[in-house]
Amino acid sequence: MFVFQKKRKPKHQKTLSAMPFNEELSDDLSENEKIVTKIFHNCGDFIVRPIQINGKPKILMFYLEGLLDTKNLEIVMLKPLLFQGLPEGLGEITSLKQIIDQNLIPGSSFKTVSKLEKLVEGVLKGELGIIVDGEKNALLADFKGMEQRNVAEPATEVTIRGPRDGFTENIRVNSSLIRRRIRSTRLKLELLTIGELSRTDVAIAYIDGIAPESLLKEVRSRLSRIEIDGILDSEYLEEFIEDVPYTPFPQIQNTERPDIVTANLLEGKVAILVDNTPFALIVPMTFWSGLQAVEDYYERFWYTSFIRIVRYVLFNTTMYLPSIYVALTTYHPKLIPTTLLISVAAAREGVPFPAIIEALIMEFVFEGLREAGIRLPKAVGSAVSIVGALVIGQAAVQAGIVSAPMVIVVATTGIASFAIPRYNLGTALRLVRFPMLILAGIFGLYGICIGFIALTIHLVNLRSFGVPYFTPVAPQIPSDLKDVLIRAPRWADRYGPIFTFGRNKQRVDSGQMPSPERGGADQ
């Protein structure tokens, strides 16, 4: 790790920080126009629209094209001012106050700003700036209407049953998707701006009274420490605020589903929404939440419990199957049932490589196929699967370069790794698999045991915002185990996770198990 720690160099000059504005707004309209056009010099999308009233330039409107709804602007602002004239009896417009007070503009959100900096910031956000002759203050009107993607089904987290809306790139839309699910004033959205140049909106979402104050404080302080030029995705934040940077395992959950965010908020966790990305962050994350899918909560608990156990098995398959295969065939063939061993031996007959090399080659090829499958344009995508299936799967076996059992093992492992609901946990596993394989190739089962112990030690040492990664298994919290290996029915799992939800609170009232004594429709 010392590689990454360089000696402290003298601090670079900060090029990131916003340029300070020396000028101040004056009460002369033409003066102001000069100032504004100077600030937005060479910004091709900057548009200034002076409006004359009674022949004299009176109002100056300016905005960045594309960030606001021009059509709306024309109807709401320009038409009445230019063609229809002001309502009778109002006289001349002398102040900004008058515009608002006398409801001259039927816009929804206005604010008066006196500082040039605020004015510029507002315009950059997509608001309409209005300056009136003879006024030192300016007006910002909200006509935001950027082109954006519609709310659609999230591509990465698909369900059979359950809501189908996903986050978009617009933080306002995203927050509204959460707000629609929690119609309470206790749902709070604290706004921050991060990124010196990008000025990205970031919102900390939580439910007041449920999310622990200590966690909130930690989130706020970690976020406020970030100094960076721009934020393009929530992952940028993730790397700054996670507890242990040197681990392949994710300590912050991400999702593009508002229902997942809402469910976690109800459990007392905190979500971080970032503008321009559909992925929201949820802290703290535990290892087990990496193995829980949304659908677990939308299907009957029997099926969910079963599928969870399947997932745990697949998890271990991903981690250990190739290693165990290599270890058993090269070090401990005694442990394989005779008939199976003979089959494996027959398949390995004539394979030129040792099992460990064979496994590494195949794993490598599989990772390559997977990567190519994602990156290739859709039109060529099918070519990859054909090449993968035919060339790697069949031809290589027939040519005697790899053995058939190895192909089966690698394919099973690959499929198993995709059965893990959180994609970033799956990628971590795929990474860890390689050292495990090498350990198995050098030390056999002994190596796998060492790898297992080392991995377990590493995992239990991880923290996510102070919450141990293996909660509630280690440290063990019996009441929280109802949602780990199995999912208890909702009326039985009455409490939230202790680390975030706290004690002495309950989510579900007691005694709600349906039964004839509770009365039915016909009573």
Partner 1 sequence: MKKVFSLLICLVILTGCWDRKELNERSIWLATGWDVAEDGGVEISGQIVIPANVQTQGGGGGATGQGFFAISAKGKDVRDALQNMQAKLPREAFFGQRRVIFLGEELAKRGVKDKLDINGRSADVSLRTDIFVIKGGTAKEIITIANPLEKSPVIATLKEHQESGGRGDTAYLNFLTAANRDGITPSIPSIEITKSLEGKAAGKEKSPNPKLLRLAGVSVFDKQLKMKGFLNNEENRNILWVMGFLKKMTITIKDGGGDKSIDLRSIRSKIKPTFDKNGKPSFTVTLTGEGALTENNSGLDVTYADNLRRLEKEFSKQAQDHVQQTINKVQKEYRLDILGLGEILHRHHPNRWKKLKTNWDQTFPGTTITVQAKIKVKQIGMSGPSLLYRESEIKK
Which residues lie near partner 1 (CB under 8 A)?
1-2, 329-334, 336, 338-339, 341-351, 354-355, 394, 397-398, 404, 442-444, 446, 450
Q: State the Cα–Cα distance between residues 96 and 386, nearest whole angstrom.
A: 68
Closest to partner 1 by CB, 1 or 521:
1
CA torsion sign, 114 to 116 to 120 to 121?
negative
Minimum Å gap between C-beta 228 and partner 1 is: 29
Q: State the Cα–Cα distance between residues 304 and 83, nearest whole angstrom.
A: 64
**Residue 485, SS3 per DSSP:** coil
Closest to partner 1 by CB, 85 or 248:
248
Closest to partner 1 by CB, 202 or 347:
347
Minimum Å gap between C-beta 368 and partner 1 is: 24
Minimum Å gap between C-beta 339 and partner 1 is: 8
Phi-psi region of 198 (alpha: psi -120 to 50; beta: other; left: phi over 0): alpha
Closest to partner 1 by CB, 116 or 344:
344
| Orientation angle between helical segments 355-375 and 404-418, nearest 10 degrees | 40
Closest to partner 1 by CB, 21 or 353:
353
**Residue 57, SS3 per DSSP:** strand
Closest to partner 1 by CB, 225 or 334:
334
- Among the listed residues 434, 439, 416, the one whose alpha carbon sits nearest the alpha carbon of residue 426: 416
Closest to partner 1 by CB, 105 or 450:
450
Minimum Å gap between C-beta 440 and partner 1 is: 11
Q: State the Cα–Cα distance between residues 490 and 487, nearest whole angstrom.
A: 8
Minimum Å gap between C-beta 314 and partner 1 is: 27
Minimum Å gap between C-beta 367 and partner 1 is: 24
CB distance 191 to 202 below 8 Å? yes
Phi and psi torsions of 125, nearest 5°:
-80, -15
CB distance 139 to 96 below 8 Å? yes
Distances from the Cα of 421 to the Cα of 158, 251, 289, 481, angstroms: 10, 15, 9, 19
Minimum Å gap between C-beta 219 and partner 1 is: 31
